[in-house]
Structure formats: C-alpha cells, structure tokens
Chains A and B, each alone.
Chain A
Amino acid sequence: MRHRKTPFIFGFLVVPVALYILLVIWPYLQTFGYSLTDWSGASSEMNFIGLDNYTKLFQDSAFLGALQHNLLLLIVLPLATILLALFFAFMLNVGGKSGTGGVQGVRGSAFYKVVFFFPQVLSVAILSVLFQGVYRTDKGGLLNGVLIALGIVDEQHPWDFASNPTFGLWCIMGVIVWSGVGFYLVLFSAAMQSIPKDIYEAAMLDGAKRGTTFFKITLPLLWESIQTAWVYLAIAAMDAFALVSTMTPGAYYGGGPDHHSEIMATLLMRNFITFGKAGYACAMGVVIFFITLVLSVVSLRVTRREKIEF
C-alpha cells in the first residue's frame, strides 16, 4: 500500500506548498536580500551595503523605543485579554449559583456571550473610527463628554487620551483588549464545555468552592487553549499597526506624540513609504520576523505540559 499512498499525499501537497513558497517564503527571502541594500523603494537600482542597516537600526533611538513599546504590548495584551476572557468564560459556563445541583453559567449567559463577541465582528477600520469618537479630545468625545458632565474633567482642559505621551499607548491597548476578549471568551467557552460536568460535580460533592474548581479543574484542562491564545495574542502584539497609525497623532502613520506610541510597524512604514529608506525598513521587517519567530517557539515550548485525554 505504501508505494501508492505516497504519490497520493504528494499530489495533494504540491500545489499548496508551491503557493506557499512563491507567496510567503520567496518574499521573505527577498526581504532578507533587500535589507542588505540601500534600496529607496522607488527604483530598481540599489547598492549592496552589507550589514550597515542593522548597525544603524540598533543605534536608532526611535527604533529602540518602538521595540520597547512592542515588548510592553507583548506582555500586557495577552495577559489582560486572557485573564478577562477566562474570567468571563468561567462566569458564563460554570460560575452560576452552586448548590442547586448541576453546573451552569450565570443568568442570561447566552445573551452575554453574544454581547461579548460582538466587538470581534467589527473591522479594525470601524474600531478606529469608533474609538476616535470615544477618545475625542473635546467635549464632543464620548469619554470627555461624560467626564465633563460629571464634573470630573474641566471643560477648558479636557483629557487628551490617545494624544497623551504617557497614556496614549495604553488607550490603544484598551481598544485591542476590548475587541479581542470576545473571541477568546468563545474559544475558552468551547473548551470549557468539553470538560465533563461530572468532574465539577465530583469536586463540589467533595466541598470544593468556585475558586478551587477554577484553579484545580478548569485552568489545567484549558491549558492547551490558553497556550494557543497566547501565541495568537503575542503575534497580534507585534502588529497593532492599523490602530496606532490612525489613532495616535504624528506625521505619516502616527506613533506620536514625539514617538511615545511608536511601534516597529509604524516606524517601518514611515521609513519604507515616506522617507524612501526601503532597505532600512526591510531590515526592521527582518528583525520583527525573528522576534515573532523566537516568541512563537519559546511560548510553545515553555507552556508545554502533560495532556489529559478525556
């Protein structure tokens, strides 16, 4: 059988692999090549300059700042999103009144599930427009309007949210978490529903409280989903381009004020498109690629645990 199975499998794989090589691997390799040149992005002429771009990159304070911001996103986004999603998923599936026999979610959990998932349906463009309205810097903004009406904020000096050097990036993170929690809530809910109810019931009979069941039963059995979520979110944290470039101030792809919300993606675009330093921008792309790669491998390794089959 074996000699007939191999060509069969090969026949199915050859087209996707060829496409993958042409559309993904080849551009990657080209990018590595371009990152060693002084390509302007506006002509086909370029000179080979070795590792100059990389040397410059690690002396560029704007890039190092952007790198730090991406690392901040990398820590905060997965942590906040997963914790919130886990909490909500637990409440919706097994957090209901105990002691009535059986395990259930809080009242109206089906309704909440839809509500929480809703932001996931919105495209990034809509998110950006929506939250520019929320964060607007005069009393026409949703938050400023409410805060001014409540007398917390002075109408003459409203808060500047996304334009603030300290809080700007946090405002963007708020949007990303808000839009992402729903998806992971549904992901974790699905995983929780596959946990047999009798495990919970057995634990309850033994006198386990809600907290104990969460940490001793839910969390360990959800570990694989959390691990996947972590990888997804870590990669999302390396991007965040659309929101930062549209919502923060600054010439050409935002990142302001004064690089305070700069991320590698906005810096890359500005150098590639605006400043005509495409070779330099490709070097940034390569650095982002390696960081993402290392992150994925590390997070998959570190979070590897024994699995329980049920």
Chain B
Amino acid sequence: MGSATGYNRRDLFKRAAAITVLAAGGTSLLAACAGGSGSSDNKSGASPTLGGDSKNPFGVKASDALDVVIFKGGYGDDYAKVFEDAYKKAYAGANVSHLGTQEISGKLQPRFNAGSPPDVFDNSGAQAMKADVLVSADQLTDLTVLLDAPYLDDPSKKIRDVLLPGTIEQGTINGKMYSLNYVYTVFGLWYSAKLFKDKGWAVPKTWDEFITLCGTIKAAGIAPFAHQGKYPYYANYIIFSLIAKQGGQELVKKINACDASAWDDPAVLAGVTAFNKIMEGDFLLPGTNGMTHTESQTAWCQGKAAFIPSGSWLENEMLDSTPADFDMAFLPVPSLPGDKLAATALWAGAGEPFMVPSKAKNKAGGLEFLRMMLTKDGSSKFVATANSLTVLKDGVNADVQLKPGTKSSAVAVKAAGDVTFSFSFQDLQTAFDAEVENATNELVNKRISPAEWVARGKAATAKKV
C-alpha cells in the first residue's frame, strides 16, 4: 500500500479483471435478449387473393425478386435449387436468391424482428422457428389461397385435392393453414426384415402378439426394443399411436388442442398401460434410456435390438450405418383390443414445413414457389434424392427406384388409405410437449406408473398457448 491514490497496481488489475469476467459472464446470457427494434408499422399486408388467369393465379411479377431460405439438413438443399430453376424458367428474368442453412432461427429471427423476412422458407431442424410463436406474432401468411389454386399437372384439380390426408391439418393453427409440410412421414416401429426372416419371427399384428414376440426375441439374446431415450419424443410416437388407435380421431383432436378432458378418456390410460408392458417385461435395450438417437439407432442397425420407434427419415439418416442386406421395414404400431381405428391406421404426417411470411415483399412469388413444388416431376426428384415420400398424392414417377424402408412405408401408407392421424402438439404446443416428454422419460425409467403419466399429461394441458 502507500500509494497516494489508495490503490496499488495489482489491486487495480484485479478489479479490472473481475469486472471484465463479470461482464463477459453476464453478456452471454443477456446478449441473447437483445433483439428487435425494427419498425412495427410494417403490418401484414392483405393476403393475396386468387385473381387473374389460371396459369398465374397469384399474379406473380417476373420483375420481383424471390428470396428463398432452405433448411439444409438430412435432405440437403439441392432439391430446392431444382424448384428455383423451374421458377426462373416460368418467370423469365426473375432474380432468385437462395440460402441453404441449418441455423434457421439464427438467420431469420433478426429478419422477422426487423420486418424484412424472406418470401418463402423451410422452417425445419433443431433451430427451427416455432410455428406457434410466429402465428401468434402475426408473421405468417394464411395458405388457404394456395389450397384453392389450380394443380399445375392438371388444372382441373385444386391443390387441396392432390395432397395426402393430414397435410392440411398438420399445417393448421387456430383453424388456418400456415405451413405446407412437404415431406410425408410415417411414424411407427422399424425392424430388419432380414433378421426376422433368419430367426423365423412373424411380424406382429396386435399389441399382445408384439409383447409375446418381445419375450421370444429376448430369449434369443437380442434386446426387443430400443429407443432414443435422451430425446423422449420418439417413445411418444408409440404411446400416442396406441392412444389414437384406441380412442379414435376425436380424441386425437382433443389432445392436439390441449383439452384437459381428453386425458380422462380411458383410451389414454389403456394406450400408455399397453406401452408400459415393455418396461414390465424388461424388454428395453440396456442403457437405451440415456442414449441419443445416433447411439440407439446405430445399436439397432448392428442388430443389438429388434425394434426401434422413428419416423420414415430413419432410412436416409442411417444410410451409412445400415448393412447392405439389412432390409429395413416399417411396422405401423400394432392394435389393441377394442380399437376405434383400423389395424392399418397409422400416424402419418407431413413434415418439413414451408412457410410464407406475412411481411414478405414477394408473397405471390413465395406461394407460386410452393405450387411448383407440388408437381409429379418435382416430387419424384425429391423422393429419389431424399429417400422420403412427399405430400403429393401418388407423387412418384414409375421409374423411381425406392429403397426397402421407403418402399415398405409407401405400402403402409396405401394400406392405411384415409385412416391416418397425426399429433401436431409436438410442433405446435412446445411447452405442453416438453412436459409430456418429461413424463415419458420418467415412465421408461420406471419412476412413475401409467396412471401417474396420465395425471401429468393432464396437468400439462395448462401450458397451452
């Protein structure tokens, strides 16, 4: 000590350091909150109406630039460039800008806040913007005009007539369709047809047969059931399929709407109790409750487990880890006694939501881009590169070679016909979904009973937005 100011050098440095660290530590959390100061006078313009000729129903002007943002995930973004080229051809001279990215939120949140969003974007992936949030902030265009527009391959039909069942419902929030989910996904159980053939196991039709088979599989030294335990929503595909088949379409609607009374329906308890038989029989792959999707799906590809729940992106996702003769196959969740829906009924839904922002500069162009994606040629190109079906009915040209898993899911879609259901709450009621996922995680770890799971689900409906 002893310096005139009362501070020595070391003291000063130390304090400076502490303040810097304090600031840095705080900023990492607080900076996230610094956001929109964009003008709020840029209110959503009037929705485009169907006018003009049938060739250009939205009145697209070739002079208007089109701004496209695509989620560059499992399906890549090359398919979008095909559609962009088609757009440039149809509207000669149109300037199309393309951005392929995984950081949808990171790139678009500031643009939404500033009132200058793209004209059409594919809102997918872990960093997707939440549709429910966008809708309540009045940021999306109602796509009803698209549904009523003529289908390009056959102008006598409307777009709404050529979409697979469930597509419109999947994109509907508060009674209006805000997103066109382009990829048609089926949800259920997956297995290796080769493994089943080698072992002489019959594919189960009812849940009772499934549970009996699980016993047989376990006796053969293979774990009957793996799931992506770190992300419990995969297990929910099975639980909610059982519930939907038992309780019927009305129940599905009520659950999606976060209606608390839905959880009093005996079908809910019946479904989760049936699922819990997997835990009662100790049929889980050891350690699967803590595994990521990659870890568990790889173990399944290696033949360590017989069944795994997933959507039909699984085949494309696991291409590199799947043995050549694996012969991947899809099984809709087996039926319970007294089911209201047919045994072939399945959870099928459209994914990969494409949206047109309400404050887009070229809204008509965005809508036209979506209409161009819904042609048989366009759809076939997507199917061939992404190993997944699209929402276009009968949307695959005959010359396209399908992989075994995609082929078997196409068979299941055909068998199901119009009897499909879909739980949109996973995308649209995220706070509710997070609670249900927590409850499922407790259930698979045997920390709560099926009845407690139902009680927690019911309580979670309070999180409705």
Contact = CB atoms under 8 A, between A and B. Distances in A.
Interface of A: 20, 24, 27-28, 30-31, 34-35, 39-45, 132, 136-141, 144, 155-158, 160-163, 165, 224, 227-228, 231-232, 235-236, 238-239, 241, 249-252, 256-259, 265, 268-270, 272-276, 278, 281-282, 285, 288-289, 292-293, 296, 300, 307, 309
B33 A31 contact: yes
A158 B139 CA distance: 48
A293 B10 CA distance: 22
Contact of A236 (B23, B25, B139, B289): B25
A138 B134 contact: no
Contacts of A161: 290
Contacts of B442: 257-258
A292 B25 contact: yes
Given A43-B139, A258-B438, 16 more contacts: A27-B33, A28-B30, A31-B33, A35-B33, A42-B109, A42-B139, A44-B40, A138-B287, A138-B288, A160-B287, A161-B290, A249-B229, A250-B438, A251-B438, A276-B465, A282-B33
Contacts of B229: 137, 163, 249
Given A137-B287, A138-B285, A250-B441, A43 B137 contact: yes
B35 A163 contact: no
A209 B127 CA distance: 59
B451 interface: no
Contacts of A307: 1
Given A231-B21, A276-B136, A30 B441 contact: no
Contact of A228 (B14, B291, B433): B14
Interface stretch (B230-238, B323-331, B408-416, B417-425): B230-238
Interface of B: 1, 10, 14-15, 17-18, 21-23, 25-40, 105, 109, 112-115, 127, 129-130, 132-134, 136-139, 229-233, 282, 285-292, 295, 299, 430-431, 433-434, 437-439, 441-442, 445, 447, 465
Contacts of B29: 239, 241, 265, 268, 285, 288-289
Contacts of A144: 287
Contact of A238 (B25, B35, B109, B431): B25
Contacts of B127: 273
Nearest to A133: B295
Residue among B105, B282, B434 with max Cβ neighbours from chain A (10 Å): B434
A154 to B, nearest CB: 9
Contacts of B285: 138
Contacts of B299: 138
Contact of A43 (B36, B282, B288, B434): B36
A162 B25 contact: no
Nearest to B228: A249
B230 A249 contact: yes
A47 to B, nearest CB: 12
A274 B130 contact: yes
A307 B133 CA distance: 56
A45 B35 CA distance: 11
Most chain A beta-carbon neighbours within 10 Å: one of B18, B232, B282:
B18
Contact of A251 (B15, B105, B433): B433
Contacts of A235: 21-22, 25
B180 to A, nearest CB: 19
A236 B24 CA distance: 10
A28 B26 contact: yes
Interface centre among B25, B132, B139, B291 (most CB of A within 10 A): B25
Given A249-B231, A251-B233, A270-B434, A138 B32 contact: no
B289 A285 contact: no
